[in-house]
Structure 1
Amino acid sequence: MKRILLMSLLAISTALSAQKPVELELWPDGAPNSNGITTPEQKLENNRISNVSEPTLTIYPAAKPNGLAVVVACPGGGYIRLAMNHEGHDMADWFNAQGITYAVLKYRMPNGHHDVPLSDAHQAIRLMREHANEWHIQKVGIMGASAGGHLASTAATHYTAGTRPDFQILFYPVISMDLSNCHKGSRDNLLGKSPSEELVRLYSNELQVTGDTPPAFIMHSSDDGAVPVSNSVSYYLALVKNKVPASLHTYPIGGHGWGFRDSFTYKRQWTGELEKWLREIL
């Protein structure tokens, strides 16, 4: 009898915590710019996609919202593809369990049009704020991994009226576009192979931090062979220099691209630290 009761309570709990995701077109009336991609979106192995030209925002409303935060996640992929699951959708339940409404941005690939991904990130933040009453939102944060971390940190340093995120969460982010410290594939795909020095500086986000940049939680592995950990370190130092609250967590091993995967040795550490940090900023 006790077993039946326990199973019934578990079923009720699961039903209450399960919320149907809501997918919104990012630009239902048409985007203000184009990335020039005309070929169909392509599904790749490991749940990655490329040729993205029709952006969407998938929202996972929290069953018991704390009313204070939402994360707009920008998956990585070198600005040429998107790792939608382990750097995006797979984290929805974890955030929802904390009362945080969670959203995954399928943003357009730049294809050499550097303004396009940032336009999508700005629009995602606007949409979340337009639905603030519906989803009980008071703060909107931006999160990203790898090249998505570059997009998230760009949104945090290149905002316009109404698009400044309230906080930023960065997984092994690309930060700099300087050849001495960058992920060259992300740089080439975003800025082109021969960008001007002005453009390189504009998108080197460690150089764009001000005292108004939102608080940051940053994670990186010291042995990352794709995006040097110095990207996170330089960004963290710029935040500290400008007196912006920042938390940097580096792990001795793990490489690149771990996201929400259980195989990452330090998953328990980063989830625990991020959960604490989110409670503090809420």
Structure 2
Amino acid sequence: MTFTLNRRGLALAALAGAALAGTAKAEGTSAADLVRLSRQRRDPDVVLPVWPGTPPGGEGLAVKDLVIDHGPVGGPPDRSADGVAMPTLAFFRSASPGPRATILVIPGGGYTNVWFDKEGYEIARWLNTTGVHAAVLTYRLPAEGWKNGPDVPLQDAQRAMRLLRHKAKAWAVDGGRIGIIGFSAGGHLAASLLTRHDAAVYSAVDEADTLPAGPQLACLAYPVISMDESLTHAGSRQHLLGNAPTAAQVTAYSPDQTVRAGTCPTFLFHAADDGAVPVGNSLAMFQALRRQNVATEMHIFESGGHGFALREIPGRPAEPWPELYHRWLGRHGFV
């Protein structure tokens, strides 16, 4: 059974399923399309370093970029960045003309690596089929020795949003329609950007840093939210905050505890049987957003486990999420 939550409350998605079955699907959301996209090897149009020089807190640090390909021979690419010395922004341009809405895509990896194919490039290519530009952020990992380690991913995410606005004319980005989507630990980073986009976590390095870092829309996909031991993903918490975080750190780095009025509309989805990141993380964020009267929609799928992204949903309960998300983007003027 699949549950759908929105601002009007809780409804069985089985009822919505009948309505969905009788309507046209967005381009790129059929099972065949999703399989095709997972095997596509189209490279980004632009790959831009996030920082013009050494990233904040990296002076004297000997971190090396390391990419590992986990994919089988002949199968879809499945790479992760297991060391990130210089974060990058990989821009995928939609074929649609004129300034377009743009989504910053933040892959997951438990803050130990960044799975930029499955939860990054594939998502960007699909977004392009809907007429939306996309940019995939490969961010630094907090446990690699950077100064102010817990804020390192947020530094990169804030800077990436500012770069998208700074490059608006060159990349045909509509600066008033920039959203985010984050998966798993990338969902934690997206939620942190959602609630702390104006936190002073680094000193300005150029004129791009005069621009705002806040998104206009957010999507959190099976996200890590809470740093509380009773709910968190243990690996994400350990790599972000270490083995013995203080109570103040647990609160400060739990986005459900830092939601403010005026937060942008947010879309969440999760599988009820997620064995890695408990579904209670999405539930906690949904309730926190509702308490602040933020426009919020959530979909809980009966099964699907963790990390399904696009390539693992055909024929499974979570298969509708791209279509549901696409419709939500449309209601908010992004497509």
TM-score by length of 1: 0.89
Alignment pair present for 1:63 and 2:99: no
Residues of 1 paired with 2:109 and 2:66: CA distance? 14
Residues of 1 paired with 2:154 and 2:194: CA distance? 10
| Aligned with 1:50 (options 82, 88, 92) | 82
1:15 aligned partner: none
Alignment pair present for 1:159 and 2:179: no
Residues of 1 paired with 2:82 and 2:63: CA distance? 10
Residues of 2 paired with 1:172 and 1:268: CA distance? 14
Alignment pair present for 1:127 and 2:178: no
Comparing both chains, which one has the higher relative contact order based on Cα–Cα distances under 8 Å and sequence gaps of 6 or more? 2
* Native 8 Å contact 2:105 2:123 kept in 1: no
* Native 8 Å contact 2:102 2:177 kept in 1: yes
Residues of 2 paired with 1:119 and 1:260: CA distance? 28
* Native 8 Å contact 2:303 2:318 kept in 1: no
2:235 aligned partner: 185
Residues 1-282 of structure 1 correspond to what in structure 2 (within 5 A)?
Answer: 21-34=45-58, 38-44=62-68, 45=70, 46-65=78-97, 67-111=99-143, 113-134=149-170, 135-137=172-174, 138-160=176-198, 162-263=212-313, 265-282=316-333
Instruction: Report the secondary structure of 2:152's partner residue.
Output: helix
Residues of 2 paired with 1:258 and 1:78: CA distance? 15
* Native 8 Å contact 1:65 1:101 kept in 2: no
Pick closer, same or farther for the CA change 1:106–1:176 going to 2, 3 Å: same
Gaps of 5+ in 2: 1-41, 71-77, 199-210
* Native 8 Å contact 2:112 2:239 kept in 1: yes
Give 2:152's aligned amino acid.
V
* Native 8 Å contact 1:62 1:97 kept in 2: yes
Q: CA deviation at 1:164?
A: 1.0
Residues 140-163 of structure 1 deviation map (CA, whole Å, 9 limit, x = unaligned): 111110000000000000011711
Q: CA deviation at 1:39?
A: 4.2
The number of equivalent residue pairs is: 265
Give 1:206's aligned amino acid.
D
Residues of 2 paired with 1:65 and 1:206: CA distance? 38
* Native 8 Å contact 2:46 2:92 kept in 1: yes
Pick closer, same or farther for the CA change 1:152–1:270 going to 2, 3 Å: same
* Native 8 Å contact 1:145 1:171 kept in 2: yes
Residues of 2 paired with 1:19 and 1:192: CA distance? 35
Give 1:202's aligned amino acid.
A
Residues 234-282 of structure 1 deviation map (CA, whole Å, 9 limit, x = unaligned): 1001111111011101100000000111445135410110110001111
* Native 8 Å contact 1:221 1:255 kept in 2: yes
Residues of 2 paired with 1:20 and 1:104: CA distance? 9
Residues of 2 paired with 1:234 and 1:226: CA distance? 16
Gaps of 5+ in 1: 1-17
Pick closer, same or farther for the CA change 1:251–1:130 going to 2, 3 Å: same
Instruction: Report the secondary structure of 1:124's partner residue.
Output: helix
Q: CA deviation at 1:35?
A: 9.2
Instruction: Report the secondary structure of 2:307's partner residue.
Output: coil
Instruction: Report the secondary structure of 1:179's partner residue.
Output: coil
Residues of 2 paired with 1:188 and 1:20: CA distance? 32
Residues 125-180 of structure 1 deviation map (CA, whole Å, 9 limit, x = unaligned): 00000111231313111111000000000000001171111111111000000001
Give 2:241's aligned amino acid.
L
* Native 8 Å contact 2:105 2:136 kept in 1: yes
Residues of 2 paired with 1:235 and 1:20: CA distance? 32
TM-score by length of 2: 0.75
Give 2:45's aligned amino acid.
P
Residues of 1 paired with 2:60 and 2:242: CA distance? 14
Q: CA deviation at 1:196?
A: 1.2
